[in-house]
Each structure stands twice: as C-alpha cells, then as structure tokens.
Structure 1
Amino acid sequence: MAYEPGTAECRVLIRSKEQIETMLLELSKLDGTDVLLQQLRQVHNQLEALHDLRRAS
C-alpha cells in the first residue's frame, strides 16, 4: 500500500523530496556534478528530517 500523507505540509515535503530524487538521478548521468549531487543530498536529508518531525507530531 502506498504511503498516504496526513497533512498538506507532509504532501509538500514528500513532493519536494521526490523532485530532488529525480534531479539526483538525472544529474548523476552528467560529469562534473559531484558537488551539486552532494548538496542536493544534504537538502534531501534536511527535508527528510522536517518530514520526520511532522510525522512525529
């Protein structure tokens, strides 16, 4: 069963993480994007932390 977000905030965070995941996949195909990929992973991790806080509340 797919995860069903409970709040509008959770939906925003989920969509944002999904968009970053798509960017990571696409950019990983290009040379010279290592630093950018690392930054995007950090942003994804920050969004995940925010989402964890929302889920816990």
Structure 2
Amino acid sequence: MSYEAGSKECRHLIEAKDSLLSAMESLTNINSTDLLQIQIKEIYNKLEQMHDKRKKIESATNYL
C-alpha cells in the first residue's frame, strides 16, 4: 500500500482500493471473469471519487 498522509478514512479508502486492484489482478488469470473485473473497476472508481472528496475536505480543514 502506498503511503499518503490523511485521515483514517483516507487510509481505509486507500486500503480498499489496493484490495480491489489485487482482486482484479488475480482475476486476469481466470477465464470468464470479464464482467467481474468491470464491476470491480466500477467500485474502484466510486472509491476513488470518495477519496478525492475526502482529500478536498482534509485540505480545506488543514488550510484553515
């Protein structure tokens, strides 16, 4: 997991995204998992959006 300063929530989001990346990598070696990989990528993208929002909140809080 890459290190990034921030709240516990950010760290949990990063951990969740890393877990999804690992799952997607594992699925590449299994036949007929294309749909699962797409669904996992969609979830990953949602987590990325949540993380971006959280980073903005953290930046605004740290700026004040």
- TM-score, normalised to structure 1, is 0.92
Q: Output the amino acid matched with 2:49.
A: A
Output the CA distance in 2 between the equivalents of 1:5 and 1:40.
25
Could you tell me which runs of 5 or more consecutive residues in structure 2 were left unpaired when the two chains were aligned.
58-64
**1:6 — aligned with what?**
6
What SS does structure 2 have at the residue aligned with 1:5? coil
What SS does structure 2 have at the residue aligned with 1:29? coil
Q: Output the amino acid matched with 1:20.
A: L
Could you tell me which runs of 5 or more consecutive residues in structure 1 were left unpaired when the two chains were aligned.
none
Q: How many residues in Structure 1 have an aligned counterpart in Structure 2?
A: 56
Across the aligned residues of Structure 1 and Structure 2, the Cα RMSD in angstroms comes to 1.0
